[in-house]
Amino acid sequence: FFSCFFVMQTERPIEVYLNVYDLVEHNRYVHSIGVGAYHTGVEIMGTEYSFGRLEIEGATGVFECPPKSVLPLRESILMGEIKTTPQHIADVIDSLKPEFLGTSYQVLTRNCNHFSDALCRQLLGQSIPAYVNRLSWLGTFVQCLLPPEFQSNVPEQIPVPPNRFPGNPSKLSEVPDANVKSKSLTEEDLTQRRERHARAAMKRLQQIQ
């Protein structure tokens, strides 16, 4: 017990690696232009830490596994070295677990790469390479064109704001129908909106290239 406690409390240089995995084979065609679909995990002292979806309310999505064992490995990047104790490493990871609950996982806005970035920032004060999560960033601009599972969660109902004007609200119903103008989005409006989002995303992609 005392030897284990001593090891956990002893400062030493600890290397931090980012292991980047290919999620799809198409990465070999687009990796050179700085995009692709990737999974990442942070390797520290022989253990890899990552984040995934877990359908258990209140449970963290942070998990650990043997290094370089998840998917086809693209590269292992030495992010840096930190002189600290193993206990400090464990404390930092534990502090992130409540922030990355399994039910909060979202492909575009809260995925494994967001966790890897948060952990590297906490330990080393630096972000992971931008290309790793660039596809998710671009996807946020065209969410309306993507399947529901790729879109951010939205509340089922929009809260009704409180009445900010004095008077009897029932008087609104007394306004003649001819003076009430309402407009709903038509299928043509939705198509035009999707096209604008797609053009904006392509423009951003060209700027990145």
DSSP bridge partners of 64: 49
Residues 6+ apart with CB under 8 A from 8: 85, 86, 87, 90
DSSP state, residue 106: B
Q: How far is it, in rounded angstroms, from Cα 37 to Cα 62?
A: 20
Q: Are 65 and 46 in contact (CB under 8 A)?
A: no
The answer to whether the Cα torsion of 57, 22, 32, 200 is positive or negative is negative
Catalytic residue among 4, 26, 39, 197: 39
Catalytic residue among 31, 65, 112, 144: 112
Active site residue 88: no
Active site residue 112: yes
Which positions are catalytic? 39, 112
